[in-house]
Structure formats: C-alpha cells, structure tokens
Structure 1
Amino acid sequence: MKKRIVSCLSILGLAGLVFAFGDLLIPQENVIFEAAQRPQAFAELVTSSTYSVWAARGIVGVLMEMIGTVGLYLYLQKTKAERLAFYGLLLTLMHQILGVGVFALVIFLFPAVGEMVLAGNTDAVRFATMDGALGAFMGASLLFTLAGLALMAVAIWKSGVLPKWSGWVAFLGFAMIPLPGVAVQFIANALWGAAYFWMAYAVYKNYSYQEESEEKLSENLIPSNSL
C-alpha cells in the first residue's frame, strides 16, 4: 500500500513539472485571458505550432493530478484528519474535472477562434473572452482548487504523518499560478510539484524505516524450538 502511495504522490509531483516545463513552450499564457483587449496577439498565440502541445499537456497534467490526489487521501484516511482530507479530496477532484473542461476549450475552441480572427473576422474573439459564463467557469475551477488545497493543507498539518508545511507549499504554488510572467508560472508549478515530491519522500522514508525495524525485530527473536 505504501509503495502505491509513493507512486501516486510522485506522479502528482511529476504533474507539476509537466505544467512547469510546458509553460516554457509559449511566450505568455495570460494573453489568453486578454483576448478581447489583444485579439491579434491572442490569435497568433493560439494558432502557433507549440500551442497545441502546451494545451494537450494540460489535460495530461490534470489526469496525473487526479491520480496523485486519490493517493494522498488514501494515505490520510486512517489519520485523525480523515474528514478534512475527504472534503479536500472532493473539492480538488471538482477542480480537476472542471480543469479537463477548461483544457478541452483551450485545445479545440481557442484555435478555431484564432483562425477566424486572423482571417479578418475579429468579432469571433467574443467566443474566447473571459466575460460571462466562460470566465465564471474558469474562476470556479480556481476557487475549487484553492478551497480543496487549503483543506488538504490543514489535514496534512493535523495528520502528523506528512511534513506539516508541505500542504501549504502546494497551496502557495497553485495560488501563484494566476500571476503574470513565464518565470513566475514556471516557479509556481515547480513549487507545488516539489511539495508532492516532498510528501512522497516522507512516505518512502517512513516505509523504509518500518521495514528496517521489522527486519531487525525478526532477527532478534529466538525461536522457541531452539531452546
């Protein structure tokens, strides 16, 4: 069981690296949120050769997040913080489900809008603006993320089985994602990825220590039939 938990948390850490290095593929993803103000820059970005790779890595990364989040809850479910971890799991999974929807729009809708804008139909950019339902949809995804991670951070702090600050480091990394700048995006994603690698190492270390203790105990036991 512990080995599976280590694997799940490591996959979650790798998801952070997938997002971090993926952000280096495009000049600035915040242009996507400024489609109405900068339609030409938006169109050039979403029709670029590296944009499709950047967008596809989003869905891959979110699926990796799901695997890791379930593993984290399984590790916390037998602790005194199980209830907090459970609600954190639900909110985080809601964010990830919404995240798949967000990246589906990013992959299929935005390039089509960009092609129309470059063809001279600038009115088409209204389908990609953050006003109204689309902005509310993406905003809800972010709110569910922060709420779920905050609950998970408190659960980790109270559980006593993981590094206390690791959950809050993950929360901080996600909270930094809306900030502009490629370097900031890279640091933000690498930060929350590192938090889950930290957790994975703690579980692995604890698991290895338990195995070593059990082996020493078995070596020191004297079979009764040898007396």
Structure 2
Amino acid sequence: MLFLLYPALRPFSNEASLQGAQAFASPFWVLAHMLAVVGFILLVLGLLGLHSALQTTPVERLVFVALVLTWIGVGFTLPYYGAEIFALHALGQEAVRQQSVALLTLVDAVRFGPAIFVFAVGLLLLAVGPILVAIAVWRSGTLSRWSGMVFALGFALYIPQFFGTQPIRVAHGVLVAVGCIWLAWSMVQGQQQSKAS
C-alpha cells in the first residue's frame, strides 16, 4: 500500500515555478517520499520472508540471489530518495520564503548529478531482483505463479513510470501494491497449506 500512497499523496506541479516550490515545501512531499522509503525497507523484509518460506525448495538459491540483488538495489535507491525528501524540501521552503524561483535551478543539480547513476543502478537491480523472484515463485510450485509475475512487472516498470503523469504513476502504484499484496497473500496461503499437510 505504501507504493500506492507515495504517488497518490506526492504533490505534482510545474517544478520550475513557485507552485513547484510549494510542492517541495509541502509536508505531503516529505510524507509521500518517506512512505516510499518505508515501502522499500518492507520490500526487502518481505523477500527475506519469501526466502525463509522457500528455503528447503529447489529454488532456494534463486530466491537468495533475488533477495541480495533487491537488497543492494534498495541500498542504492534510498540515498536518492533522501535527497528528494530533504534537499528538495529545504530548497522549496527557502524558495517559498523568498518568493523566488531562483533556488529551484538547483533541483536538477540534486536530481541529475552523480546521484542519478547510483539511483539508476539501484532501480535496475530492483527490476532484476523481482524478476528472479517471479521465476522462483513460478518454479516453486508452492505459491501462486501469477503473484510473482505481477510483483515483477510492477518493479520492472519502476523506471518508465517516472516519466509519466500523476495518474500513470498512481496506476503504477496500484500495480506494485497488487503485486506485493498478492505475493504476500500467496506466502500466507502456502504456509497454511504446509501446516495442514
């Protein structure tokens, strides 16, 4: 749900204008991005649970690789979110205080400096890890096969969704939320079935 709330609550506007500064300065800017940060942390913890659930299966090694790649991907992604949360928020607050867009020229320096490369690597790993999860879930035979596919699709589309409008980004958030919830539900169902056996 956090990956859905992030784009739904995040203020969108022309980021080169005072409206953009107000968006950056908004408490919803901080809240929305923090929800994404918590979502990424919970993603890795969920995959740790998946690894535990599939530990004695033939796909154990594949799930472990998926977990490690996703963990590294989250580690490379979160610093960028930190810059979005705190640096852009501070720039927005000061631009609003000054009633000037001059500081907003620094937004691209925050977003597209060296950090963008670390962020891109993180998001690529966040695509590869869930794709490996989908393969492992499909091969496991113990979890809903399609839950892994929806999960992987959501994270594979993470980079392209950044170029979309708010409705597209919210729709992507729905896809990620459905994938995460379906996979989690599949894990719960799988554990209940194994206890009943």
TM-score > 0.5 by shorter chain: yes
Larger radius of gyration: 1
Q: Unpaired runs of 5+ in structure 2?
A: none
Residue among 44, 62, 70 paired with 2:40: 62
Q: Unpaired runs of 5+ in structure 1?
A: 1-16, 214-227
Figure out how many residues of one structure are paired with residues of the other and give that number: 191
After superposition, the C-alpha distances for 1:128-154 in whole angstroms (9 at most, x for unaligned) are 443331221221121110111111111
| Contact preservation (8 Å) 2:143, 2:190 | no
Q: CA deviation at 1:207?
A: 3.6
Runs of 4+ that moved beyond 4 A: 210-213
TM-score (norm 2): 0.82
Q: Which residue of 2 aligns with 1:174?
A: 155
| Contact preservation (8 Å) 2:3, 2:36 | yes
- 1:38-57 aligned at under 5 Å gives the runs 38=16, 40-57=18-35
- 1:82-121 aligned at under 5 Å gives the runs 82-118=60-96, 119=98, 120=100
| Contact preservation (8 Å) 1:92, 1:145 | yes
Q: Closer, same or farther in 2 for the Cα pair 1:204/1:131, shift >3 Å?
A: closer
1:151 to 2:121 alignment:
no
Query: CA separation in 2, counterparts of 1:207 and 1:131?
Result: 44
Q: Which residue of 2 aligns with 1:3?
A: none
TM-score (norm 1): 0.72
Q: Closer, same or farther in 2 for the Cα pair 1:47/1:144, shift >3 Å?
A: same
Q: Closer, same or farther in 2 for the Cα pair 1:99/1:211, shift >3 Å?
A: same
After superposition, the C-alpha distances for 1:119-178 in whole angstroms (9 at most, x for unaligned) are 347266335443331221221121110111111111111111111222121121123333
| Contact preservation (8 Å) 2:9, 2:28 | yes
Residue among 96, 108, 123 paired with 1:142: 123
- Name which structure has the greater RCO, CA cutoff 8 Å, separation 6+: 1
Q: CA deviation at 1:39?
A: 5.7
Amino acid at match of 1:105: A
Query: CA separation in 2, counterparts of 1:117 and 1:134?
Result: 23
1:200 to 2:176 alignment:
no
Q: Closer, same or farther in 2 for the Cα pair 1:124/1:96, shift >3 Å?
A: same
Q: CA deviation at 1:117?
A: 4.2
Query: CA separation in 2, counterparts of 1:210 and 1:176?
Result: 33
| Contact preservation (8 Å) 2:21, 2:91 | yes
Query: CA separation in 2, counterparts of 1:212 and 1:78?
Result: 17
| Contact preservation (8 Å) 1:91, 1:148 | yes
Query: CA separation in 1, counterparts of 2:23 and 2:40?
Result: 22
Q: CA deviation at 1:21?
A: 2.2
Bigger mean CA deviation after superposition, 111-120 or 43-52:
111-120
Q: Closer, same or farther in 2 for the Cα pair 1:205/1:72, shift >3 Å?
A: closer
| Contact preservation (8 Å) 1:55, 1:107 | yes
Query: CA separation in 2, counterparts of 1:68 and 1:75?
Result: 10
% identical aligned pairs: 25
Q: Which residue of 2 aligns with 1:28?
A: 12
